[in-house]
Amino acid sequence: MSTSLKIALLGTGLMGAPMARRLLGAGFPLTVWNRSIEKAEALKADGAKVAVSAAEAVSEADFAITMLDNGAVVTEVLFGLGVAEALPKGSVLIDMSSIPPSVARDHAARLAKEGRFHLDAPVSGGTVGAAAGTLAIMAGGPEDVFKRAQPVFAPMGRAIRVGPSGAGQISKLANQTIVGITIGAVAEALLLAERGGADPKAVREAIRGGFAESRILEVHGKRMVDREFIPGARSTTQIKDLETILATAREIGFEMPLSKEVYARYLDLRDRLGGGDLDHAALFLQLDNPPT
C-alpha cells in the first residue's frame, strides 16, 4: 500500500527505529532525524529519507512524530531547534514520547496559536510491540485531529483517544504505575518461590492462566527466571516515569505509597547496583540483593 501522506519521525532510538520501519512498511513516505545521525542513517536501507536537522525533517510533513527521551528534550526540539516554525500550517504533531501531562498541554497550546495541531500519544508495549505493530497508543487531544491521525497510528498499534490534551500522558502514567508495581510483585513472588525451595521457572508456569496472569509475568517473569536483563525498556526510563508519576500525584494531592516504594528500589538498583541501563525487570536483582 502507498499513501500520499508525508510523515516525519524525530527520534530513532530503541522505540523510534522499529516504529519507523512499521510506517515504511505501510507505504508512507518517511523522513527521519536523530541527534546521533548514525541511528537515523540505519533506516536508509528500509527506504527512509534522512534529514540533517529536525526542522528540515518536518518542513513538508503532514504529520510529525516525536519519540524522544523526556519533556525537556521534546520542548528543546520543538521550540529550540525550529520544528514548531518549520511545520506546515495545519499539520499535526504527534508526540509519542512519555512526558509530564502539564508539558504536553503547554506544547498543544503553543502549537495551536501558530495554526498547528497536537496530539499527545505515548505508547506501551516496548520494543517487541513497536516491531510487531501492536503498541497500545493512548492519545490526548481534539477528537477530529485524532480521527485524522488514525491512518498514521494503524501500522504502529491500537490507538484510543482517552481525553483532551494531556490525557494521553495521564493514561501512560497509569500504565507505568501498574507496570512498575507489578514488576516488583512478580519479582518478589518468584524470589519467595526460590527461597522457599520451589523451582521458580516451574512456579511461573504453574500460576500462568490463573488470576496472577499478566504480560509482566509472561515477559518479565521469564527474564527474571533466566536472569537475562538485556534492555527492552531501561530501568532509567522506569525511574523517569515514576518521577513523573509522583510529581503529578503531588500536583493533584494524591498519595501513592506503592509507587514511592518501587521508585526507591529502582533508585537503589541504579545507584548501588549499577543497573540503570538494564531492563526494568532487573528490579528483581535489587529485591534479591537488598542493602544491608
Tell me the C-alpha distance between 277 and 272, whole Å: 13
Tell me the C-alpha distance between 37 and 41, whole Å: 6
Picking from 220, 208, 207, the residue whose alpha carbon sits closest to that of residue 281 is: 220
- State the CB neighbour count (10 A cutoff) for residue 83: 28
Q: What is the 3-state secondary structure (H, E, C) of 103-134?
A: HHHHHHHHHHHCCCEEEECCEECHHHHHHHCC
Q: Reply yes or no on whether 147 is catalytic.
A: no
Tell me the C-alpha distance between 38 and 224, whole Å: 32
Tell me the C-alpha distance between 176 and 179, whole Å: 5
Catalytic residue among 6, 39, 147, 172: 172
Alpha-carbon distance values, 281 to 80, 100, 182 (Å): 35, 23, 10
Provide the b/e sequence for 183-197 (b: ≥16 CB within 10 Å).
Answer: bbbbbebbeebbeee
Picking from 166, 143, 153, 158, the residue whose alpha carbon sits closest to that of residue 7 is: 153
Catalytic residue numbers read 172
